[in-house]
Chains A and B, each alone.
Chain A
Amino acid sequence: MNILELSIHCLVRKRTKSILLLSVVFVTSCFIYAGWACKSANVQTQTEGKQALGASFRMEENEADRHDRTAEAIKKLGGQNGSVDGSHIEQLESGDWMISHDNSFETLQMEDIETLAGQEGIAEYNVTTANIVVNPVNFVRIEDPDVDQHSDLLGVSLRGNMEMRLDFDVQNGNIEVNEGRMITSEDKDVCVISRELAELNGLMIGDKLEFNDRKKRETSKVYSAEIVGVYDTIHKITPIMYGDSYRSENIIMTDLRFPEKPQGCEGDPLYQYATFWVENVDEYDTVKEQIKKADINWKRYDFLDNTGMSDTMAENFGDLDEMSSMILILVSVSGAVIISLVFLFWLKSRIHEIGVFLAIGKSKVAIIAQMMLEGILIGCISFTLATVCAPVLSKGVADYLVGYQVKQQEEQREAEKGMTGGAGVAEYESEVVGVETKVTGKIILLSASSILGVIFIAVSSSCMLVVVQKPKEILSRMS
């Protein structure tokens, strides 16, 4: 009678113990399967997530260079009133000096932006103006009645974008255009207003809003922009400065070249940010290095990594990957311990059988081989059953883990809501609906190896009981 026959007889005829062991190995197999599937799904989602969110660079004015250029202008004028290179210097009656700048002094240079946008690896870019306060001519702004408005600029903010869909507050989910449409680079003299402003003034899409220079309200030229959309505020944008001119509902999105007109600076735009998205996030660092070689006046700009959310996502999914690994380790170790204990319990009840085998001349190796074979047979059946259940279970576990991570992200975002308005760092909306878990050949192979490993460790450790004992000791326990 060979060990295969003996193993099969033992498993089939000792049903209760076999079913107990089968259940334990089955549960362990399922979790090992789920662990591997989640780990695989994490990697896939992490990559897809990063790609979907996009990694980008942001260009803005360098403050130190601005200071240097101002100092240089003062030097050029030699202590006299006057204007040079976009800087205006005037001595007040009090003896203090007042320095003001044109947009041309402050703005990012469009030719530099376009040079960077043309670099290999850049998929798209957006230019955003500073929030420019202008006077509302044919409508009223939203004001807080409890706030003294004397120190306010008494206007509304205009923010121009080359592509409104790429504006940081749109990307970050702070505002949503649910009526009409967003502004594109093809548009001219158009705007998108807040729901609150539209309701207060009874404005509709197609209406025209009029603005002029807040410093010359009575005399300056009036410019009009057609309303093409109405946005809803999801998270209020924190004002960059005190006063109702900058309050969330009073921010009006326009095409890129509109804000400069009612500001009284037509032809002299004030581009505050330029953002560049890379084509392939995996090549982020390569593209970054490539861009740094571009021939522009780098001294004038700060060039910032803008991967905040992408990195957060990567970190979160990294956590998820870690959690999957933890599950795998925990399940493998606890599975091995539990299976060892079940086997040990089983072996203890089979001490009689082991003694008989030893008495009839069977070697310990053959006895252990039989136990191992029994474990492997149980493992094979459990693994087959687990393979049937694996897709559903893996999906369930993966969804749970991803859901947990997304919830954490949501909470984080909730805590940070509105913090990106104006000069804030751009972040990008992320939405993970679920994770696709596929039980591939590789996962089956990894899971099978893991389960076999667990069974091998469990049986080997419990069989130590057989190895360390002398046949006489076993037989004396039998009598």
Chain B
Amino acid sequence: MLELKNISYYYKSQKDKTILNHVSYEFKKGVMYAILGSSGSGKTTLLSLLAGLDVPVDGTVCVGGEDILQRGLNAHRKDNMSLVFQNYNLIDYLTPVENVRLGGKADAEKLLEQMGIDQLQRKRNVMQLSGGQQQRVAIARALASKAPILLADEPTGNLDEDTANEIIAIFQNLAHEQEKCVIVVTHSRELAEQADYILTLKKGKLEE
């Protein structure tokens, strides 16, 4: 489904400091992955490369066997990927429904209902919702695109334990019921243990 082929990455200003060193891995659909790593290990860089927000210095990122650069990064982000962030990244002047509609043409009301956002909450300004509710809206937006891959960067970082568990359950459901490839980047071992596979990023290498 999503494949990293011999990926290397370093900052041009710091060529001697390799962040990713010839990383290769294939992510499969219907599976939830957790990528673990300490701060500065390159987790967010890897996520950026997978999401098409940045390009590797060496190697290729492929979806369905096709290099994402050939298709175009915008198209890759639009059609293949949906992103969920730690700080939700919702548009502050829109309602939950409008935010979800940004993600795609799917039924926003239905998606928000599935995420447990009631009708009254759906019509309020998104910034008036709680952190957990905002993260649910962000997930609903990610699902609206109907993209086969969902990337999440520390999705439970700002949430309490109960809400975090609910969000993890949603991710598991997306992977197992909706056959999506869910990749969660985290430094929380507790969260990682609920994934099907745990990958660790260490010294520029991705280990299973």
Contact = CB atoms under 8 A, between A and B. Distances in A.
A352 B92 CA distance: 9
A150 interface: no
Given A1-B101, A9-B98, A475-B48, A358 B53 contact: yes
B87 A479 contact: yes
B18 interface: no
A353 B91 contact: yes
B94 A9 contact: yes
A178 interface: no
Contacts of B93: 9-10, 13-14
Given A9-B94, A360-B141, A475-B48, A355 B89 contact: yes
B204 interface: no
A226 B141 CA distance: 103
Contacts of A352: 89, 92
Interface in A426-479: 470-472, 475-476, 478-479
Contacts of B87: 478-479
B103 interface: yes
B53 A363 contact: no
A479 B88 CA distance: 10
A203 interface: no
Nearest to B105: A1
A359 interface: yes
Given A472-B48, A475-B48, A360 B53 contact: no
B187 interface: no
Nearest to B102: A1
B53 A472 contact: yes
A363 B83 CA distance: 16
Interface residues on A, range: 20 to 34
Given A359-B53, A472-B48, A479 B85 contact: yes
Interface in B49-104: 51, 53-54, 73-79, 81-83, 85-87, 89-94, 98, 101-103
A114 B109 CA distance: 96
B90 A356 contact: yes
B145 interface: yes
A472 B19 CA distance: 15
Contacts of B79: 361
Contacts of A475: 48, 53
Nearest to B89: A356
A362 B91 CA distance: 14
Contacts of A355: 89
Contacts of B77: 358-361
A356 B91 contact: yes
Contacts of B51: 359
A357 B99 CA distance: 11
A479 B48 CA distance: 13
A83 B77 CA distance: 113
Interface string A359-370: 111110000000
Interface string A1-45: 100000001100110000000000000000000000000000000
B98 A361 contact: no
Contacts of B76: 361
A358 B81 CA distance: 12
Nearest to A476: B44
A219 B208 CA distance: 141
A359 B83 contact: yes
A173 to B, nearest CB: 66
Contacts of A14: 93
A357 B74 CA distance: 10
A361 to B, nearest CB: 3
Contacts of B75: 361
A1 B145 CA distance: 13
B45 to A, nearest CB: 8
A361 B141 CA distance: 12
A442 to B, nearest CB: 39
Nearest to B77: A361
Nearest to B151: A359
Contacts of A478: 85, 87, 89
A169 B199 CA distance: 104
B92 A353 contact: yes
A361 B74 contact: yes
Nearest to B74: A363
Interface of B: 44, 48, 51, 53-54, 73-79, 81-83, 85-87, 89-94, 98, 101-103, 125, 141, 145
14 contacts: A14-B93, A356-B91, A357-B102, A359-B83, A359-B89, A360-B83, A360-B103, A360-B141, A361-B75, A361-B78, A361-B81, A470-B54, A475-B53, A479-B44
Given A359-B89, A361-B77, 15 more contacts: A9-B98, A14-B93, A353-B91, A356-B89, A356-B91, A359-B51, A360-B141, A362-B78, A471-B53, A471-B54, A472-B53, A475-B48, A479-B85, A479-B86, A479-B87
